[in-house]
Structure 1
Amino acid sequence: MKTLSLRRLRPGEWREEAQLIAQSTNAWYQASGKPAIFTGDPGQCEVFCQVYEALDPGCCVVAQDTQTGALVGSCFFHPRSTHFSLGIVNTHPEYFGHGIARKMLDEVIGLAERAGKPLRLVSSAMNLDSFSLYTRAGFVPRMLFHDMLLPDSKRLPKPDPRVRPVTAADVAALVVLEQELVGIERTKDFAYFTENALGIWSGSVWEEGGEIGGFLFAVAHPASNLLGPGVARTQEIAAALLATERQKHPGNPVFLVPATCTALLQTLYSWGARNCELHVAQVRGAWQEPLGVLFPTFLPETG
């Protein structure tokens, strides 16, 4: 497109960006015969701008049609000390097929390459256009995840006494644990969750004998109802964390579970959990095989 230009998202454009996120995401799901993801006021999707700009100001590439002035694409990214992560990527439905997503992606790839860091993302395994976009750009599929829902919490076990609410004092220990199990660092993310300025985050840690064996955060917002991010040394610890966060969550949150965690998956099925989608972790560059259990999320997608 000759009329396309790339630049960074501006603060006064959050409302337009929220509408782009809602419209783009809903269009794909509805075209695939699925219900819309965002069913309320599109302005609720401003939470993505609020969270992402608080964590990483100026880290959203947008595509603008210079003839109309409209935003027709956006791509959030998250620089961290160990890696870059790709956040939500959108293209306006009327501009599908023009290579806009690839142009935005190439800009972020260039930033990661110049920083000498791998670029990570979690993408839908059901959206083959998206999957192909990333694999064509050099990303390698590394892990498969079950997207799951637990509509009825009546079958959840009694609270594990080793699970307690997370505090700001835990942040350093959480960072060390994730670096050990996953090889990435997200100090400012965990500090942001525990500060909870928006009042939408919760979190739990599993601790025994003074040692933290896992943690799980959650977000409860009309535009984002999720359990994650988190990690756990064992599937037993992961189950205890999921049960606690699901029990106290006000909605019916989606959560992602590694497909290789067969014992955990069987436990979740026994509680009444069901599958709703599949996602794939993809990495462009160096990759460390995770130890234990990894819980990705979509807000914020910084892992």
Structure 2
Amino acid sequence: MSSKTEPILRHATLDDQDEIAELICISTNYWYRSSGKPPIFNRGPETCRVFWDIYEAMDPGRCIVAVEPRTGRLMGSCFYHARQTHYSLGIMNAHPNYFGRGVAGRLLKAITDLADAEGKPIRLVSSAMNLDSFSLYTRAGFSPRAIYHDMIIPAERVVAGLDGVDRSRVRPAVAADVPAIAALEWKVSRIRRDHDWRHMIENKAGVWSVWVSPVGNGELNGALASINHPASNMLGPGIMTDDDAAASLIAAELTRRGGTTPPLFLAPAARPGLIRKLYDWGAKNIELHLHQVRGESVPFDGVAMQTFMPETG
């Protein structure tokens, strides 16, 4: 059989989880190394099991894999979410051994076909520095809608104090907040994913924290989730009505973590007041990401902080 035989696509099973974790680790680290950057998964593939664990707990059975017909090895994988208002494209990886075989394009088309069959747009967050993936998504009909600063604030700056914000109303979220969070996200982003927020607040995996900022009458002006895991240390997703609410929620979570390894967060370039505040706190730019959409979308009416898991767009 020719080594160029087309991959077989299927949905992943429990038996694939370890190989998917290895694939995520190898392919992601390969791209960063080839771009002259240090690997981001430096504790091995075992930690990358978190992607399978979280995605399966949140939205079971939503991972497509590409299989090499001759060997049965996984050539690539891609997670996706079918939400109330849209599809979201999750982490996609192709093994370096199979570059040039069209793996990513086939995985992407399988998911766009699913979304098209339901008449839903697809949203994703992708690196602005990876031109191969940018070209892949653009050819498939995605358009960039927003630019994001990937930032960290050094732990010593957090410990010294993040001033200029009022955190008096900020508190940990509870399950009863889900309807208000969903209403806020609909206002800001015109998307709904109530189940995601409920999952993060319940925090059965012990890796999530969620803050909210009430304004009275059962309404919120902000909500911010974060994940703290060796393979995923990020703030987000977050939705806020304005820059002050965003800054208060970011400060609350960073202060809670104190002097631990600083989490990455994506701050919208279109919110210069928020960006200025973050720089005043000592934020450093790490990378740039793009919010991209295939299909209908509207501009954000407020602050929408993206993340990599669960992707929101």
Kindly state the Cα deviation for residue 259 of structure 1 after the two structures are TM-superposed: 0.4
Aligned position for 2:230: 222
Given the two structures, how large is their TM-score scaled by the length of structure 1?
0.98
Q: Structure 2 residue aligned with 1:190, among 184, 194, 197?
A: 197
Let me know the Cα RMSD of the aligned residues. 1.1
Summarize deviations over 1:201-241 as a string: whole Å, max 9, x none.
00111112343100100000011000000110000110001
**Superposition pairs for residues 221-300 of structure 1, below 5 Å?**
221-249=229-257, 250-300=260-310
Partner amino acid for 2:247?
Answer: A
Contact 2:128–2:134, Cα closer than 8 Å, also in 1: yes
Count matched residues: 303
Please report how far the alpha carbon of residue 28 of structure 1 lies from its aligned counterpart in structure 2 after TM superposition.
Answer: 0.2
**Partner secondary structure for residue 160 of structure 1:** coil
Structure 1 stretches of 5 or more lacking a match? none
C-alpha displacement of 1:3: 4.8
Check the 8 A contact 1:63/1:72 in 2, yes or no. Answer: yes
8 Å CA contact 2:237–2:312 kept in 1: the answer is no
* Aligned counterparts of 1:191 and 1:129: Cα–Cα separation in 2: 35
User: Which stretches in structure 2 are left out of the alignment for 5+ residues?
Assistant: none
- Which one-letter code corresponds to 2:83 in the other structure? R
Q: Is the 8 A contact 1:159 1:243 kept in 2?
A: no
Instruction: Tell me how far apart the structure 2 counterparts of residues 83 and 104 of structure 1 sit (CA, whole Å).
Output: 18
Question: 1:159 Cα shift?
Answer: 6.1
Q: Which amino acid letter does the alignment assign opposite residue 234 of structure 1? A: D
In 1, the alpha carbon distance for the partners of 2:215 and 2:263 equals: 27
The one-letter code matched in structure 1 to 2:101 is: H
- Structure 1 residue ranges (4+ consecutive) displaced by more than 3 angstroms after TM superposition: none
Residues in 1 aligned to 2:30 and 2:224: alpha-carbon distance in whole angstroms: 31
Other structure's SS at 1:13 match? helix
1:252 partner SS: coil
- Amino-acid identity (%): 50
Shift of 1:56: 1.6
Alpha-carbon contact 1:78-1:302 (below 8 Å) kept: no
The 10-residue stretch of structure 1 (157-166 or 183-192) with the greater mean CA deviation from structure 2: 157-166
Distance 2:166 2:292 in 1: 34
